[in-house]
Amino acid sequence: AVMRTGLQARERDERAELFREVHLWLFNRYDAQAGSAESTSDIGEAHDRALLAAAEHLAASDATRLPSWLLQQRWKKYYDAGRWRALSIAFDKASCAAETSPASDPADAVWFDHHRAHVCQSMGRYEEALELYSRAQTNHEAAFGDRHPEYATILHALGDVLRVTGREAEAQALYADALKFY
Protein backbone atom coordinates (compact mmCIF):
# COMPACT_ATOMS: atom_id res chain seq x y z
CA ALA A 1 0.00 0.00 0.00
CA VAL A 2 2.85 2.38 0.81
CA MET A 3 4.56 1.60 -2.49
CA ARG A 4 1.32 2.05 -4.46
CA THR A 5 0.63 5.38 -2.74
CA GLY A 6 4.15 6.57 -3.52
CA LEU A 7 4.00 5.48 -7.14
CA GLN A 8 0.59 7.08 -7.67
CA ALA A 9 1.76 10.32 -6.08
CA ARG A 10 4.73 10.36 -8.45
CA GLU A 11 2.52 9.61 -11.46
CA ARG A 12 0.04 12.31 -10.42
CA ASP A 13 2.87 14.84 -10.14
CA GLU A 14 5.01 13.84 -13.12
CA ARG A 15 2.46 12.50 -15.61
CA ALA A 16 -0.86 13.99 -14.56
CA GLU A 17 -2.67 13.31 -17.84
CA LEU A 18 -1.71 9.62 -17.86
CA PHE A 19 -2.69 9.35 -14.19
CA ARG A 20 -6.11 10.83 -14.97
CA GLU A 21 -6.63 8.62 -18.04
CA VAL A 22 -5.75 5.42 -16.17
CA HIS A 23 -8.11 6.23 -13.32
CA LEU A 24 -10.86 7.22 -15.75
CA TRP A 25 -10.43 3.89 -17.57
CA LEU A 26 -10.61 2.05 -14.23
CA PHE A 27 -13.68 4.08 -13.25
CA ASN A 28 -15.46 3.09 -16.47
CA ARG A 29 -14.58 -0.57 -15.89
CA TYR A 30 -15.87 -0.64 -12.31
CA ASP A 31 -18.86 1.57 -13.12
CA ALA A 32 -19.96 -0.96 -15.73
CA GLN A 33 -19.76 -3.70 -13.10
CA ALA A 34 -21.60 -1.57 -10.53
CA GLY A 35 -24.40 -0.95 -13.01
CA SER A 36 -24.58 -4.47 -14.40
CA ALA A 37 -27.36 -5.76 -12.14
CA GLU A 38 -30.60 -6.30 -14.01
CA SER A 39 -32.72 -5.38 -11.01
CA THR A 40 -32.29 -4.15 -7.46
CA SER A 41 -32.65 -7.69 -6.12
CA ASP A 42 -29.57 -8.72 -8.14
CA ILE A 43 -27.27 -6.20 -6.44
CA GLY A 44 -24.85 -7.92 -4.11
CA GLU A 45 -21.46 -7.54 -2.51
CA ALA A 46 -19.59 -7.71 -5.83
CA HIS A 47 -21.65 -4.74 -7.05
CA ASP A 48 -20.94 -2.90 -3.79
CA ARG A 49 -17.21 -3.41 -4.26
CA ALA A 50 -17.46 -2.22 -7.86
CA LEU A 51 -19.43 0.86 -6.79
CA LEU A 52 -16.77 1.78 -4.24
CA ALA A 53 -13.90 1.12 -6.65
CA ALA A 54 -15.62 3.24 -9.31
CA ALA A 55 -16.08 6.06 -6.79
CA GLU A 56 -12.43 5.85 -5.75
CA HIS A 57 -11.18 6.00 -9.35
CA LEU A 58 -13.54 8.80 -10.36
CA ALA A 59 -12.35 10.78 -7.32
CA ALA A 60 -8.78 10.30 -8.55
CA SER A 61 -9.51 11.16 -12.20
CA ASP A 62 -12.21 13.85 -12.00
CA ALA A 63 -13.43 14.58 -8.48
CA THR A 64 -15.87 17.23 -9.69
CA ARG A 65 -18.00 14.54 -11.38
CA LEU A 66 -18.22 12.20 -8.39
CA PRO A 67 -21.19 13.71 -6.51
CA SER A 68 -23.37 14.09 -9.61
CA TRP A 69 -22.41 10.60 -10.89
CA LEU A 70 -23.41 9.08 -7.57
CA LEU A 71 -26.72 10.96 -7.50
CA GLN A 72 -27.67 10.49 -11.14
CA GLN A 73 -26.29 7.05 -11.94
CA ARG A 74 -26.18 4.91 -8.81
CA TRP A 75 -28.11 6.41 -5.88
CA LYS A 76 -31.65 5.22 -6.64
CA LYS A 77 -30.88 1.64 -7.64
CA TYR A 78 -28.56 1.01 -4.70
CA TYR A 79 -30.89 2.74 -2.25
CA ASP A 80 -33.87 0.70 -3.45
CA ALA A 81 -31.73 -2.44 -3.11
CA GLY A 82 -31.04 -1.58 0.53
CA ARG A 83 -27.29 -1.34 -0.11
CA TRP A 84 -27.00 1.50 2.40
CA ARG A 85 -23.56 0.65 3.75
CA ALA A 86 -22.00 0.78 0.28
CA LEU A 87 -23.87 3.99 -0.49
CA SER A 88 -22.78 5.51 2.80
CA ILE A 89 -19.14 4.82 2.00
CA ALA A 90 -19.58 6.13 -1.56
CA PHE A 91 -21.21 9.30 -0.20
CA ASP A 92 -18.27 9.72 2.19
CA LYS A 93 -15.85 9.48 -0.74
CA ALA A 94 -17.94 11.94 -2.75
CA SER A 95 -18.16 14.29 0.22
CA CYS A 96 -14.36 14.34 0.52
CA ALA A 97 -14.11 14.97 -3.21
CA ALA A 98 -16.69 17.77 -2.97
CA GLU A 99 -14.63 19.51 -0.28
CA THR A 100 -11.71 19.81 -2.68
CA SER A 101 -13.87 20.33 -5.78
CA PRO A 102 -17.17 21.97 -4.84
CA ALA A 103 -20.22 21.35 -6.98
CA SER A 104 -20.92 24.08 -9.50
CA ASP A 105 -24.65 23.40 -9.38
CA PRO A 106 -26.31 24.42 -6.08
CA ALA A 107 -29.04 21.83 -6.68
CA ASP A 108 -26.42 19.06 -6.64
CA ALA A 109 -25.26 20.21 -3.20
CA VAL A 110 -28.82 20.27 -1.86
CA TRP A 111 -29.81 16.86 -3.21
CA PHE A 112 -26.46 15.33 -2.32
CA ASP A 113 -27.08 16.14 1.36
CA HIS A 114 -30.73 15.11 1.08
CA HIS A 115 -30.00 11.69 -0.42
CA ARG A 116 -27.07 11.12 1.89
CA ALA A 117 -29.42 11.86 4.80
CA HIS A 118 -31.85 9.22 3.46
CA VAL A 119 -29.06 6.66 3.65
CA CYS A 120 -28.19 7.67 7.22
CA GLN A 121 -31.86 7.57 8.20
CA SER A 122 -32.24 4.09 6.72
CA MET A 123 -29.25 2.96 8.76
CA GLY A 124 -30.70 4.38 11.99
CA ARG A 125 -28.14 7.19 12.14
CA TYR A 126 -30.80 9.78 12.94
CA GLU A 127 -28.62 12.58 14.32
CA GLU A 128 -26.45 12.50 11.21
CA ALA A 129 -29.55 12.42 9.02
CA LEU A 130 -31.03 15.35 10.92
CA GLU A 131 -27.85 17.37 10.38
CA LEU A 132 -27.75 16.57 6.66
CA TYR A 133 -31.46 17.30 6.08
CA SER A 134 -31.08 20.58 7.97
CA ARG A 135 -28.10 21.51 5.81
CA ALA A 136 -30.06 20.62 2.67
CA GLN A 137 -32.90 22.83 3.90
CA THR A 138 -30.55 25.75 4.61
CA ASN A 139 -28.77 25.38 1.26
CA HIS A 140 -32.08 25.12 -0.59
CA GLU A 141 -33.35 28.28 1.07
CA ALA A 142 -30.12 30.11 0.17
CA ALA A 143 -30.12 28.95 -3.46
CA PHE A 144 -33.81 28.78 -4.33
CA GLY A 145 -35.77 30.30 -1.47
CA ASP A 146 -38.28 28.51 0.70
CA ARG A 147 -41.21 28.52 -1.71
CA HIS A 148 -39.91 26.17 -4.36
CA PRO A 149 -42.06 23.03 -4.85
CA GLU A 150 -39.17 20.63 -4.23
CA TYR A 151 -38.65 22.28 -0.86
CA ALA A 152 -41.60 20.24 0.46
CA THR A 153 -39.62 17.03 -0.07
CA ILE A 154 -36.89 18.29 2.22
CA LEU A 155 -39.39 19.46 4.85
CA HIS A 156 -41.18 16.12 4.78
CA ALA A 157 -37.95 14.14 5.17
CA LEU A 158 -36.76 16.38 7.98
CA GLY A 159 -40.13 15.92 9.68
CA ASP A 160 -39.81 12.15 9.43
CA VAL A 161 -36.50 12.19 11.32
CA LEU A 162 -37.84 14.58 13.94
CA ARG A 163 -40.85 12.34 14.46
CA VAL A 164 -38.71 9.21 14.86
CA THR A 165 -36.47 10.99 17.38
CA GLY A 166 -39.45 12.04 19.52
CA ARG A 167 -39.82 15.63 18.38
CA GLU A 168 -43.41 15.25 17.23
CA ALA A 169 -44.46 18.91 17.51
CA GLU A 170 -41.58 20.09 15.32
CA ALA A 171 -42.32 17.30 12.85
CA GLN A 172 -46.00 18.25 12.61
CA ALA A 173 -45.08 21.87 11.88
CA LEU A 174 -42.83 20.76 9.02
CA TYR A 175 -45.49 18.39 7.67
CA ALA A 176 -47.99 21.28 7.68
CA ASP A 177 -45.54 23.47 5.72
CA ALA A 178 -44.89 20.61 3.27
CA LEU A 179 -48.62 20.10 2.73
CA LYS A 180 -48.88 23.62 1.35
CA PHE A 181 -46.85 22.41 -1.63
CA TYR A 182 -48.35 18.94 -1.90
127-145 core/surface letters (b: 16 or more CB in 10 A; e: else): ebbbebbebbbebbeeeee
CB of 136 within 8 A of CB of 174?
no
CB of 166 within 8 A of CB of 127?
no
Say what the pLDDT of residue 6 is. 85
Of the two residues 94 and 13, the one the predictor is more confident about is 94
Write the pLDDT tens digit of every residue in 5-30: 888 888 888 888 998 999 999 999 99
Say what the pLDDT of residue 101 is. 55
pLDDT bucket at 96, cuts 50 / 70 / 90: confident
**Which of 31-40, 137-146, 167-176 has the least mean pLDDT?**
137-146
